[in-house]
Amino acid sequence: MKILISAALRDKSASRLALAVVLFAACQGFWDRVEAQELKLSYRKATFAGGCFWGIEKVFLELDGVVSTQVGYTGGVTKNPVYNQVCSGRTGHAEAIEITYDPARVRYEDLLEVFFTHHDPTTLNRQGPDTGTQYRSAVFYHDLPQKEAVIKAKDVLDRAGVFKTKIVTEIQPVGEFYPAEEYHQKYLQKNPHGYCSIQLQSPRIKQALKESGPGETHE
27 has catalytic annotation: no
DSSP per-residue letters across 149-198: HHHHHHHHHHHHT-SSS----EEEE----EEPPGGGTTHHHH-TT-----
Amino acid in position 195 = Y
d(CA 205, CA 160): 9
**Candidate list 27, 52, 87, 196, residue with the active-site label:** 52
d(CA 14, CA 55): 58
- Which amino acids are annotated catalytic? 52
